Amino acid sequence: MLDLKFIRENPDAVRKAVADKREKADVDALLELDVKRREMIGKVESARAEQNKATQKIAQMKKAGEDASPAIAEMRRLSDSIKEMNDQLKEIEAQIYELQIRIPNIPDASVPVGGEQDNEVVKTWGELPEQDFQPLPHYEIAEKLGLIDFARASRMSGSFFVSYRGLGAKLERALINFMIDMHVEKHGYTEIFPPFVVKREAMFATGQLPKLEEDMYHCELDDLFLIPTAEVPVTNLHREEIVDGNALPIKYTAYTPCFRREAGAYGKDTRGLMRIHQFNKVEMVKFVRPEDSWDELELLLQNAEDVLQALDLPYRVLTLATGDLSFAAAKCYDIEVYAKGLDKWLEVSSCSNFLDFQARRANIRFRREKGGKPEFVHTLNGSGLALPRTVIAIMENYQTDEGTIVVPPALRPYMGVDIIK
């Protein structure tokens, strides 16, 4: 959430951010209400000053034995007026808040302006696989080898759900353990295993609500949401806290299933694992000092890249343009892995810097020194990695002409086999 003072002092920059991110927030209405709010605060303060004078006058009149009835009546009138103005002020502030929470974070100056077509490729790694046969798409090889049961999963849960089986289930579990171990042992993150359902306030803090509510699975009876990513519960670990500045950066990694209704995405990427309602992901979340957040974003990106390099999967890194940037992010790198069977680049990670946007919504602060003034931390998160499309790339790129899948060497200690057949 942007600070109201910042919005007031930088209206053009905020309007541009709204336009560049293709949001619908009404900045002008907010600014008009802000003027009314400050005028109302002035009136309340003036009335309270008069009320204080009236109180003193009444005390003097009573002390002198004079009739204070007219002054008492005036004080009551002022008291009623102050109550009425305070009620109006609360209503104005509520309207401001509703407009304020719909204003997105401002994109960093390094972010290209435009839509998805304007995303910039900033790095590529690895060689595209060369095979002397046409590899099957993952959904065909997975069914041939009995790794995923699409039909039975759909029968029990509906479209866009999958059930892994046998070595398919073991591959999923192996990837999760491999990624968590790398982030803990090599990158220095602390592992978290959080709840998979959260309160509405937690979803608001990270920016999913109110904008994306229709994409979320909502348990109406308890007003709880199934998490769309581990970013939500892990970021909210320090909600309403003042953390020790000497402990920063705080780095967490977590595996969770993720639940997304994908409302509005029907008809896109409908085959196999490309777009499913429940999927597994390993996430990285950082809480850092403001002056360190841009360097920490580059380190976060490298941590995600390390996973793909260890698996020897070719990938590219893109800087997302403003229109493709999330509501809460100031800058985001997407990592796309190449999948030979589909002949497509598939997103497996988004690494984002939110600056203090999420921290303001969650009220997460730190002190630089004991007794110092609390400041908002900066938060970052990145997928390390999302599993469905990582699995696609492994199945398609490591496929053989014999209809088997070679297990990447880094995964063999976790799989216990060298070849899936």
The residues annotated as belonging to the active site are 260, 275, 347, 350, 389
CB 400 within 8 A of CB 406: yes
Helix axes 293-310, 167-181, angle to 10 degrees: 140
d(CA 119, CA 309): 23
d(CA 168, CA 417): 12
d(CA 89, CA 382): 40
Distance of CA 275 to the CA centre of its chain: 19
**What is the number of alpha carbons within 13 Å of residue 355 lying toward its C-beta?**
14
Tokens of 185: 């042992």
CB 259 within 8 A of CB 278: yes
Rg (the chain; Cα; Å): 27
d(CA 153, CA 150): 5
Helix boundaries (H) for 210-331: 231-235, 293-310
